């Protein structure tokens, strides 16, 4: 792993969240300076800030993108007790060509009476739905019935969780076997309040969300929570950031056909790591859920991976080198590439199973011969259509190594 | 079963503060964004850098030279997957060996190019990077070659040694360089490396070349002529097993034993006592371990020592005996102080035929998914990996291929290669591909079409729908209604097609003309996707008929749009207004029945309008226009009805 | 020996073009240009297939293409056309149209002229999808449905046809000096006559009802009314623009998008097509209509032709073999020109006996002995 480039975000206060859009070509940042910035990747991979505006009257905790099927839409939530939906508008102005875009507020969701701590869009197969959770312990689900008119959002569900909420995560599974489901975490410090992670499931009959499960073993404050992509499995995988990193498996138990209650789950703990020493603040999966990243009080981001035996291990650490950049401003790509640690220790480790790079005793360097005959298709491959369709067959590469200094491969002699 | 080699996770330094601060992060498709933050502002709130760092995973895939390896081997991989299962195993084996050689040939080519680049670059950092990559590729090729000999080609006693010799010769080619240096000098026999070259040749069993070299020395020392002649004869007589020849292995063994005894006799009777070099060579020929070990510098590695020892002591070694010799040679060769390197362990595991250990150690030590994925896949095709029932149902081959292919997907451009790898992972390949392919940025329609083709070929209907929808949405945002409609037709997205049709109709109402006629006139069967789209198409057809003065057909179509409820109610007034000029033609166009139906439509419309109450947000002026329109229509309808009745009555009578 | 040579170039190739050779000579081309796409940094590159210093001649593998020079290109290279021997025009996914000059004495490339955001949406860039040149005139088309005319010697734009198409225009070619032909994503061919001032096509031809997108178009080098197109379904269509509004013949060619079709410039009985399905086909038809009946096409090419209608006053010997239509009289043979490979072939160009093509497998294939 290596730092490919650094971007001067130029926020005037702490950055609280950075979020990639679905395709990874745009990102949004939010900060205690009450603003959100949108960044676009140029053709040559550099990031340019194309919009920056004041969004709230308090710290902006989280910013998140809607699926591009719904256009260019952002949601943010703040200490100011509101969440907001923003849409990029296109007009006849030439601003985008000057590297600027316009975002307008489509709605402000003012139902919460306390700080809105997390905001997430529901999986796209459910339509355009937005979920918020707040310190007053309420999860709210809003829906935009007309995707072309984002100024109208209706509050569909209001679910009281009794405990101050810090984070929510939707189960991304679009399988019909799985009703819509989300998990909510609480950062209540009181251990005696019981389980801090609750799972809610949608019931077709009552058209309401009801609690399906509480993870009773998680009694400390929970700061973040993340369902893994389902991969077509019958069970669900959930990562939790609490005083350590935990990975749970939720296996739905067979439901009697007459039962109308929520699904019962068998909860299994898959892994638990306390390498962050103290509190863990964020957990998040990569696209295929082969890697989990977590951030904690040790100031590190740790990467976790299961090997093919399903043993979870830490495979990489991102760590501040103690040299915060101060002089960085203005130019977004002011810093040169390759600032990471040396190849020996960093390369590739993020990929998982392997973790270190050994160095080999110096082997002989290859002697350079002429390289030719890359792909001489055997004449049998060039044939008329009247003949059988061309069978893909391995190409015999004729003696590529015929220089005098390199001994030829055995095939050159024997066959 | 297998020991986990416990290694510390690699640390990557981020230019950020490390004490009292947190590192926030966000996953991207190919990288992670990392930034300094503070999750609970309980602690001291020092100034925070607002820099965001883009951290990339795999450096290798950004190397332009290694990209060639990925692209070329993709082709071989796909070819291997299509080898038919029902081929006779003998034919298959030769195919597998040839595929293995193709892979190695690609590695070699890549290695040469890297080496050249390392030499020619002026940037020392880049040179080091290339140098590292070369050393890794060298190790990979060395291991691969040994696996090919032992596992894929499955060489038997006799042939095994010959192949191991080839292996050592290929990877210890510095003797050739030295030899040419010696031969090009003024007096080769007096060159300081002369004897090194002769001995190296002997150690590699290249006796013909050793004899050629010795002749040069012999001509310089006429006095020792007989001694050189004896050595030459010993070297020339050393038997080598010829595979496929008439000689049986036992016959060869007898012959070899005979020769060995002869060499031994020469040693015993001190035939070479007066020439230290020849004496040495003679001792090598009888396989004297101490002498061999005295040439560690020329052997270089324990596995060279192993092969040389086998050559002169156990030329008919069986595959099953290899591990014993390998272990002892490694112990003898390495000092008691030095610990075996990972490469030594990997090779040893190969000699022990422990394939899983080889793969496992390689994936840890080499840090290169390309190698383990391709080698494992090949070995799996050779049926060498028992299917391990792994925890999450995948097997080792699939696990490694998924890792490799996922790595390719993190690259801006190499993702296309990964598709074929996912295709050949029966368990999770498809779902991985589904998750990854929809994240590919759709910069141009051209690229979107390529991504769509991949999805359509695999019947990934949800991804197809989603991509078309994203493209339709983008076209709509850019005010390209025609493109937006085309994309939603392709996505079979009725709701969106309706929405765009509305926009077309709105535009028509506003401007009085249709835009994008080339598209609307050519909807064909696609028109049936949504009611509104059908209406749009049919309504345009009405205009065409009208323009061609085919009034009767036009009138019929217009009426049917209302009576068959194809037209939205909001559009009826427009349609009725369109009927006005037809009603006012001199000729009767609407029949009496049709006129009745038109009147009925008008009444239905006006009654529903009055039901909604007096103009909600309409101005008085608009209200007036509307009333006038309705009155005009009523008048025209009545007149037409009268004319139609008269006309129809006339014809009948 | 039929030798086709692969060179791996570490970039996905979107376009390949031979540098033109002077008409009088029988010279074979020796330099070609490539454009890349989908890379973080795209390039326009110039390659030579001549031996450098003759060091490789002894191996008998003359002409492994080697890089002469390259230049960064903003955005994907969507199309590439030589304006003359030294200048090449690119169409970019950023909507820009750029003229690069290849300095052959120093082997360097420089931008000689650029029209940024020539193709655009109201507030974003629109990819420029195709370009065609007839020096000094340059015509480009784009996803924005615009047709733009430039002159290499003028900074401004000569003419713009806004809303020339409600869908994306995929390719453009000259029919004659004042007429161009465009193909679009709903299966239409449109003829545009620049002598007319109105902004509507002089003729629209289309596949009946199928709306299959067309991706490429090429005009017969000698007979200006004969045009070949390739579409999303991999079908090759030959049209006679004077005859009716539907294609003259349809031939199944590929199993996925046909990205390019080219008549051989001097021997137009030969035609070449390449496709997303990873194949490159060589089509050969016989021009002697009075030939005895031959095999019809191949297994891969079923012919569905209209019966041959001779153009009024047409001399039989002038009838294009491609329009001789009646498949029992015509002879059509197709040959696969690449070893089996799965990755798309995006572009090809043929000149003299030389053919070059580029793939998403990051390989450039050169064949110097095309039998034409």
- Is B513's Cβ below 8 Å from some Cβ in C? no
Helix then strand then coil, in percent of chain C rounded to 5, is 0, 45, 50
Q: Would you call B478 an interface residue with chain C, using a CB distance cutoff of 8 Å?
A: yes
In Å, how far is A104's CA from the nearest CA of chain B?
15
Domain of residue A270 covers: 191-207+217-320
pLDDT of residue B349: 94
Element (H, E) at B415: helix B415-423
User: In this complex, do B25 and A311 lie within 8 Å of one another by their Cβ atoms?
Assistant: no
Q: Which of residues 21-40 of C touch B (CB under 8 A)?
A: 37-40
Given A294, A320, A346, the domain boundary residue is A320
Is residue A352 pLDDT above 50, yes or no?
no
CB contact under 8 A, A395 and C339: yes
> For B78-112, what is each residue's pLDDT tens digit?
999 988 777 777 778 889 999 999 999 999 999 99
What span, in angstroms and rounded, lies between the C-alpha atoms of C122 and C103? 37
Domain identity same for A140 and A51 = yes
Reference C202, options C242, C166, C235; nearest CA is C242
**Torsion over CA: B122, B125, B131, B133 (sign):** negative
| Residue B218 vs residues A124, B236, B273: alpha-carbon distances, Å | 86, 16, 16
- Regarding whether A70 and A199 lie in a shared domain, the answer is no
3-state secondary structure B463-504: HHHHHHHHHHHHHHHCCCHHHHHHHHHHCCCHHHHHHHHHHH
Domain end residue (candidates: A320, A338, A370): A320
Closest residue of chain A to B40, computed from CA coordinates: A281
Q: A59 and A108 share a domain?
A: yes
Judge: A349–B34 Cβ closer than 8 Å, yes or no.
Answer: no
Q: Chain A residues with CB-CB distance to C under 8 A?
A: 43-45, 90-97, 370, 372-377, 379, 381-386, 389-393, 395, 402
CB-based contact C40 A45, cutoff 8 Å: yes
Is C362 within 8 Å of chain B by CB?
A: yes
* Residue C372 located in a structural domain: no
B220 phi and psi, to 5 degrees?
A: -80, -25
Asked if B343 contacts B361 with a C-beta cutoff of 8 angstroms, the reply is no
Domains held by chain A: number: 2
Residue with tokens 């001792």: B283
- Helix H or strand E segment including B576: helix B572-583
The number of distinct structural domains making up chain C is 1
ipTM of the complex: 0.90
Task: Please name which of B331, B306, B359 lies closest in space to residue B160, comparing C-alpha atoms.
Answer: B306
Cβ-Cβ contacts under 8 Å, A350 against chain B: 32, 57-58
C114 pLDDT tier (thresholds 50, 70, 90): very high
Subunits close to B (at least 3 CB pairs below 8 A):
A, C
pLDDT of residue A91: 66
Among A334-348, B395-409, C120-134, the least confident range? A334-348
Label residue A221 exposed, middle or buried (CB < 10 Å: 0-12, 13-18, 19+): buried
Residue predicted with more confidence, A108 or B601: A108
Mean pLDDT over the full length of chain B:
87
Number of A–B residue contacts, CB under 8 Å? 405
Selected for mutation to probe chain B from A357, A368, A399 (highest B CB count within 10 Å) is A357
Closest CA to A34 of A63, A6, A72, A74: A63
Contacts of B9 in chain A (CB under 8 A): 302-303, 313-317, 349, 355
For chain B, the distance separating the N- and C-terminal CA atoms, rounded to the nearest angstrom, is 104
Tell me the mean pLDDT in the region B497-522.
85
Q: Does residue C337 carry a pLDDT above 80?
A: yes
CB contact under 8 A, B446 and C124: no
pTM of the model: 0.88
Whether A14 has its CB under 8 Å from any CB of chain B: the answer is yes
Residue A148 and residue A280 in one domain: no
Residue that is last in its domain, among A320, A354, A377: A320
CATH of the domain at C134: 2.130.10.10
Burial B534-550 (b: 16+ CB within 10 A, else e): bbbbbbbbbbbbbeeee
Q: At residue A328, does pLDDT exceed 60?
A: no
DSSP character for A307?
A: -
Q: Does a structural domain hold residue A340?
A: no
Q: Is residue A203 part of a domain?
A: yes
- Domain of residue A260, CATH code: 2.130.10.10
Residue B298 has pLDDT above 80, yes or no: yes
Q: Could you list the residue range(s) of the whole structural domain that residue C80 is in? A: 4-311+318-367
Over residues A7-35, the mean pLDDT reads: 92
CB neighbour class for A299 (10 Å; exposed up to 12, middle 13-18, buried from 19): buried
| The pLDDT value given to residue B50 | 80
pLDDT at residue B232, as a whole number: 92
pLDDT tens digits, A366-391: 443 333 333 333 333 333 333 333 33
Lowest mean pLDDT among A381-395, C56-70, C242-256: A381-395
Per-residue pLDDT for B558 more than 60?
A: yes
pLDDT per residue over C1-57, tens digit each? 456 788 999 999 999 999 998 765 567 899 999 999 999 899 999 999 987 554 444
Which DSSP category does A393 fall into?
-
Structure tokens at B319: 């595959």
d(CA B502, CA B484): 13
Q: Does the CB of A29 have a partner CB in chain B at under 8 Å?
A: yes
Question: Residue C295 pLDDT > 90, yes or no?
Answer: no
Q: Give the residue among B425, B403, B32, B368 at the shortest CA–CA distance from A307.
A: B403
pLDDT score recorded for residue A399 = 34
Is the CA virtual torsion B415, B419, B424, B428 positive or negative?
Answer: positive
**Is position A80 within any domain?**
yes
Please give the pLDDT value at position C285: 85
Strand order from edge to edge, sheet including A138-143: A116-121, A129-134, A138-143, A154-160
pLDDT tens digits, B468-481: 999 999 999 998 99
Give the pLDDT score at C62.
Answer: 55
pLDDT mean across residues, chain A: 78
Q: Which 235-274 residues of chain A touch chain B by CB within 8 A? A: none
Most confident among B87-96, C117-126, C166-175 (mean pLDDT): C166-175
Cα atoms found within 13 Å of the Cα of residue C145, Cβ hemisphere only: 26
Query: Which sequence spans correspond to the domains of chain B?
Result: 168-317, 433-548, 570-609+620-653
Closest of A113, A110, A128, A148 to residue A65, by C-alpha: A128
Q: So what's the pLDDT on residue B423? A: 95
Q: Which residue has the tokens 């010279």?
A: C27
Strand C42-48: give its sheet, edge to edge: C13-18, C31-36, C42-48, C66-73
By the 8 A CB rule, do C111 and C96 touch? no
Comparing CA positions, the residue from B592, B562, B591, B566 lying closest to residue B577 is: B562
Tell me whether A309 touches chain B (CB under 8 Å). yes
Same domain, residue pair A145 and A65? yes
Report d(CA A305, CA A309) in Å as an integer: 11
Q: Do A20 and A145 belong together in one domain?
A: yes
Tell me the pLDDT tens digit for each residue of A281-320: 999 999 999 999 999 988 899 999 987 777 888 989 998 8
Distance from CA of A328 to the nearest CA of B (A): 7
Residues of A in contact with B166 (CB under 8 A): 407, 410
B411 CB near a chain C CB, below 8 Å?
Answer: no
Residues A65 and A130 in one domain: yes
Sequential DSSP letters for B384-402: -S-----TTS--HHHHHHH
């Amino acid at each position: 792993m290596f730092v490919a480039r650094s971007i001067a975000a130029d926020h005037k206060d702490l950055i609280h969240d950075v979020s990639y859009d679905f395709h990874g070509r745009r990102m949004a940042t939010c900060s205690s300076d009450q603003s959100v910035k949108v960044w676009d990747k140029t053709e040559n991979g550099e990031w340019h800030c194309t919009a920056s505006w004041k969004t709230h009257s308090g710290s902006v905790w989280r910013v998140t993108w809607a699926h591009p099927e719904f256009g260019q839409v952002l949601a943010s939530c703040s200490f100011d007790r509101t969440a907001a939906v923003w849409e990029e508008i296109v007009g006849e102005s030439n601003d985008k060509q000057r590297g600027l875009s316009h975002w307008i507020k489509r709605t402000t969701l003012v139902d919460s009476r306390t700080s809105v701590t997390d905001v997430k869009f529901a999986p796209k197969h459910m339509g355009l739905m937005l979920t918020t959770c707040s310190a007053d312990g309420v999860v709210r689900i809003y829906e935009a019935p007309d995707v072309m008119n984002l100024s109208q959002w209706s509050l569909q569900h209001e679910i009281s969780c009794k405990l101050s909420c810090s984070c929510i995560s939707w189960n991304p599974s679009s399988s019909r076997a799985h009703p819509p489901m989300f998990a909510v975490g609480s950062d209540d410090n009181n251990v005696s309040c019981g389980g801090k992670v609750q799972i809610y499931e949608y019931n077709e009959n009552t058209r309401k969300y009801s609690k399906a499960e509480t993870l009773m073993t998680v009694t400390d404050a929970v700061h973040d929570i993340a369902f893994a992509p389902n991969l077509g499995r019958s069970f669900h995988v959930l990562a939790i950031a609490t005083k350590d990193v935990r990975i749970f498996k939720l296996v739905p138990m067979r439901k009697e056909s007459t039962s109308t209650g929520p699904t019962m789950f068998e909860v299994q703990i898959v892994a638990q790591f306390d390498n962050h020493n103290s509190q863990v603040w964020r957990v998040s999966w990569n696209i295929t859920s082969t890697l989990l990243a977590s951030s904690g009080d040790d100031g590190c981001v740790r990467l976790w991976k299961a090997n093919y035996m399903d043993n979870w291990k830490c495979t990489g650490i991102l760590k501040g080198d103690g040299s915060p950049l101060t002089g960085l401003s203005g130019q977004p790509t002011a810093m040169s590439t390759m600032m990471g640690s040396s190849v020996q220790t960093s390369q590739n480790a993020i990929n998982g199973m392997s973790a270190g790079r050994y160095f080999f005793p110096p082997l002989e360097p290859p002697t350079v011969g002429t390289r030719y005959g890359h792909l001489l298709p055997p004449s049998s491959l060039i044939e008329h259509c009247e003949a059988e369709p061309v069978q893909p067959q391995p190409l015999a590469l004729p003696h590529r190594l015929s220089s005098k200094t390199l001994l030829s491969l055995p095939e050159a002699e024997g066959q | 079963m297998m020991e986990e080699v416990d290694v510390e996770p690699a640390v990557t330094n981020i230019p950020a503060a490390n004490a009292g601060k947190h590192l926030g992060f966000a996953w991207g498709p190919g990288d992670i964004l990392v930034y300094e933050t503070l999750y609970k502002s309980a602690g001291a709130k020092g100034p925070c850098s607002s820099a965001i760092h883009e951290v990339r995973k795999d450096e290798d895939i950004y190397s332009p030279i290694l990209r060639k390896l990925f692209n070329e081997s993709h082709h071989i991989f796909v070819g291997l997957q299509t080898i038919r299962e029902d081929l006779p195993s003998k034919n298959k084996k030769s195919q597998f060996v040839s595929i293995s050689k193709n892979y190695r040939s690609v590695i070699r080519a890549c290695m040469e190019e890297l080496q050249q680049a390392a030499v020619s670059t002026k940037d020392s950092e880049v040179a080091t990077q290339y140098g590292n990559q070369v050393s890794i590729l060298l190790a990979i090729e060395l291991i691969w070659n040994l696996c090919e000999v032992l596992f894929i080609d499955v060489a038997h006693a006799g042939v095994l040694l010959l192949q191991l010799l080839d292996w050592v010769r290929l990877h210890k080619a510095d003797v050739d360089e030295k030899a040419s240096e010696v031969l090009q000098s003024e007096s080769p026999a007096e060159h300081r490396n002369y004897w090194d070259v002769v001995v190296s040749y002997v150690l590699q069993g290249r006796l013909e070349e050793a004899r050629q070299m010795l002749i040069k020395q012999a001509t310089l020392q006429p006095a020792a002529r007989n001694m050189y002649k004896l050595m030459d004869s010993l070297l020339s007589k050393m038997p080598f097993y010829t595979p496929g020849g008439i000689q049986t292995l036992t016959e060869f063994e007898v012959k070899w034993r005979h020769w060995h005894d002869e060499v031994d006799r020469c040693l015993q009777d001190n035939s070479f006592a007066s020439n230290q070099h020849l004496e040495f060579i003679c001792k090598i020929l009888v396989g004297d371990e101490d002498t061999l070990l005295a040439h560690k510098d020329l052997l270089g590695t324990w596995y060279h020592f192993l092969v040389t020892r086998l050559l002169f002591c156990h030329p008919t070694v069986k595959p099953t005996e290899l591990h014993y010799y390998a272990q002892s040679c490694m112990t003898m060769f390495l000092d008691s102080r030095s610990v075996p390197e990972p490469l030594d362990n990997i090779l040893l595991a190969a000699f022990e035929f422990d394939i899983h250990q080889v793969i496992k150690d390689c994936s840890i030590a080499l840090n290169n998914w390309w190698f383990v994925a391709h080698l494992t896949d090949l070995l799996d095709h050779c049926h060498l990996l028992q299917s391990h029932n792994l925890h999450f149902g995948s097997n080792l081959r699939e696990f490694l291929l998924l890792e490799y292919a996922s790595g390719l997907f993190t690259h801006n451009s190499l993702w296309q290669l990964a598709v074929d790898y996912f295709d050949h992972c029966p368990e999770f390949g498809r779902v991985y591909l589904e998750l990854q392919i929809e994240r590919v940025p759709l910069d141009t329609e051209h690229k979107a079409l390529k991504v769509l083709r991949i999805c359509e070929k695999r019947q990934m209907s949800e991804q197809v729908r989603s991509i078309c929808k994203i493209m339709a949405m983008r076209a709509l945002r850019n005010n390209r209604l025609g493109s937006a409609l085309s994309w939603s037709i392709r996505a079979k997205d009725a709701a969106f097609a309706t929405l765009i049709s509305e926009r077309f109709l709105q535009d028509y109402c506003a401007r009085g003309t249709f835009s994008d006629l080339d598209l609307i006139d050519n909807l064909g069967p696609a028109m049936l996707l949504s009611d509104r789209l059908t209406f749009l198409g049919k309504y345009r057809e009405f205009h065409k008929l009208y323009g061609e003065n085919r009034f009767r057909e036009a009138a019929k179509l217009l009426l049917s749009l209302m009576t068959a409820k194809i037209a939205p109610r909001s559009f009826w007034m427009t349609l009725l207004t369109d009927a006005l000029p037809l009603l006012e033609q001199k000729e009767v166009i609407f029949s009496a029945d049709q006129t009745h139906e038109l009147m009925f439509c008008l009444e239905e419309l006006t009654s529903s309008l009055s039901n909604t109450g007096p103009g909600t947000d309409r101005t008085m002026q608009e209200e007036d226009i509307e009333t006038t329109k309705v009155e005009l229509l009523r008048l025209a309808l009545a007149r037409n009805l009268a004319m139609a009745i008269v006309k129809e009555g006339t014809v009948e009578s | 020996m039929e030798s086709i040579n692969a060179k791996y170039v570490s970039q996905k190739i979107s376009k390949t073009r031979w540098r033109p050779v002077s008409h009088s000579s029988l010279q074979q081309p020796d330099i070609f240009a490539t454009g890349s796409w989908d890379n973080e940094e795209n390039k326009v590159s110039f390659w030579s297939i001549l031996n450098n210093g003759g060091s490789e001649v002894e191996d008998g593998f003359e002409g492994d293409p080697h890089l002469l020079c390259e230049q960064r290109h903003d955005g994907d290279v969507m199309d590439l056309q030589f304006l003359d021997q030294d200048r090449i025009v690119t169409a970019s996914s950023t909507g820009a149209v750029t003229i690069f000059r290849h300095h052959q004495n120093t082997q360097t490339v420089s931008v000689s002229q650029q029209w940024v955001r020539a193709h655009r949406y109201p507030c974003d860039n629109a990819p420029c999808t195709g370009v065609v040149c007839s020096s000094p005139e340059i015509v480009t088309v784009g996803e924005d449905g615009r047709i733009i005319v430039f002159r290499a010697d003028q900074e401004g734009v000569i003419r713009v046809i806004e809303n020339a198409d409600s869908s994306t225009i995929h390719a453009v070619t000259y029919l004659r000096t004042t007429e161009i032909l465009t193909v679009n994503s709903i299966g239409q061919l449109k003829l545009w006559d620049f002598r007319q001032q109105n902004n509507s096509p002089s003729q629209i031809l289309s596949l009946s009802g199928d709306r299959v997108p067309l991706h490429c178009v090429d005009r017969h080098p000698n007979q200006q009314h004969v045009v070949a197109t390739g579409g999303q379904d991999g079908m090759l269509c030959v049209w006679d623009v004077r005859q009716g509004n539907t294609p003259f013949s349809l031939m199944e060619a590929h199993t996925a998008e046909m990205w390019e079709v080219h008549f051989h410039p001097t021997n137009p009985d030969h035609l070449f097509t390449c496709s997303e399905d990873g194949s490159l086909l060589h089509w050969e038809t016989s021009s002697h209509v009075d030939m005895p009946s031959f095999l019809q096409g191949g297994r891969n090419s079923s012919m569905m032709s209209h019966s041959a209608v001779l153009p009024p006053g047409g001399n039989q010997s002038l009838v294009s073999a491609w329009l001789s239509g009646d498949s029992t009289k015509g002879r059509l043979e197709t040959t696969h020109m690449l070893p089996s490979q799965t990755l798309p072939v995006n572009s090809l160009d043929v000149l003299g006996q030389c053919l070059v093509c580029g793939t998403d497998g990051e390989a450039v294939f050169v064949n110097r002995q095309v039998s034409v």
